[in-house]
Structure 1
Amino acid sequence: MTPTELMREWVARFNAADIQGLAEMYAEDAVNEQAVLAEPLVGRSAIRKLLEVDFARAKMVCIEERIYECGDTAILQWRDPLGLKGCGFFQFRDEKICHQKGYFDQLSFFKAQGLPVPHDYLNS
C-alpha cells in the first residue's frame, strides 16, 4: 500500500474508534510526537495507551482535508465537525507507522468537547 492508502486506512480506523486496529498500524518501536505532549511516546503499547485515553474522553472524528505524499511519508491535513483543525506527519516502514508528529490546538479540543483541561494530557 502507498502512504496515502495507509493514511486513509488510519482515518477509517480512527473514525471507527478502532483502538486495536489503529495500534496494529504502528511498528513495535514507533515514535509518536504530539505537540500537546511534553515527551514523545515510544513503542506501540505507549501509543495504544494514548489512543485509549483519547477515545475514552471524547468522541473524535477525523475528516480528511488533504493528504500529501512524499516517499515513505504522508502528511494529513484534517478537521473535525466541531471546527478543530490540525495536521499529522506519518512516516511508514514496511507498511507500519514508524514515526508520527501531530499538531492541533489542545485548548480548542477540550473546549469544543466540553471537557475540563487536564493538568497532564494523558490523565483524564
Structure 2
Amino acid sequence: MSASPEQVVRAWVDAFNAGNVDALEQLYAEDAVNHQVAYDPLHGRSAIRALFEREFARARMVCVIENLFVDGDRAILEWSDPLGLRGCGIFHVADGRIVHQRGYFDKLSFYRAQGLPLEKALEE
C-alpha cells in the first residue's frame, strides 16, 4: 500500500528540515511539477532536485507545520518558520508520490529574512 498524502507531506517536511535532497527527490514522481508561484513551474524530478540543491546552498530553511489538511489525494500545508515567514503548499499525491506541488510565500520577505541581496530577488 502506498503512503497517504498526509504521510507523504510529513515525510517531505522531515526531509526538508534535514536538508536531505535525496529524500526529497524520492518523494516526487518522475514527471512531477513543482510550482512555487514566485517562480516559474519546474517540470520533472531532476529540475525539482536542482531547486532544492540551490536553495539549501544559499539559505537555512525550516518548515514548521501550522496546519495540515487532507482531502482525498491532496494535502494542504500551512507553514511558518522561526524567522517569521509564513506560507502554504498544496500537494497532489498519487501512488505515494507528489505529482504536483504549488507553494505560496512572499519572495521579498524570504530574501530579507535570509539576508540575501534583494536585487537578486527582483531579477529572478
Please indicate, yes or no, whether the TM-score normalized by the shorter chain is above 0.5. yes
Deviating beyond 2 angstroms after TM superposition, the runs of 4 or more aligned structure 1 residues are: none
Deviation (angstroms), 1:5: 1.4
Unaligned residue ranges in structure 1 (runs of 5+): none
CA–CA distance in structure 2, aligned partners of residues 116 and 91 of structure 1: 33
CA–CA distance in structure 2, aligned partners of residues 17 and 40 of structure 1: 21
* Residue 15, structure 1, aligned to residue 17, structure 2: yes
TM-score if structure 2 supplies the norm length?
A: 0.94
What SS does structure 1 have at the residue aligned with 2:88? strand
Aligned residues: percent identity?
55
Unaligned residue ranges in structure 2 (runs of 5+): none
What SS does structure 2 have at the residue aligned with 1:4? helix
Spell out, residue by residue over 1:32-77, the C-alpha distance to the aligned partner (whole angstroms, 9 max, x if none).
111111x210000000111011101100000000100000000000
Instruction: Report the equivalent of 2:50.
Output: 49
What SS does structure 2 have at the residue aligned with 1:32? strand
Instruction: Report the equivalent of 1:94.
Output: 95
Deviation (angstroms), 1:6: 1.2
Alignment of 1:72-87 (within 5 A): 72-87=73-88
CA–CA distance in structure 2, aligned partners of residues 49 and 6 of structure 1: 20
More helix by share: 2
Q: State the aligned residue count.
A: 119
What SS does structure 2 have at the residue aligned with 1:67? strand
1-10 or 52-61, larger mean C-alpha shift: 1-10
Instruction: Report the equivalent of 2:30.
Output: 28
CA–CA distance in structure 1, aligned partners of residues 33 and 9 of structure 2: 16
Letter aligned with residue 24 of structure 1: Q
CA–CA distance in structure 2, aligned partners of residues 97 and 2 of structure 1: 10
Letter aligned with residue 105 of structure 1: D
CA–CA distance in structure 2, aligned partners of residues 40 and 109 of structure 1: 18
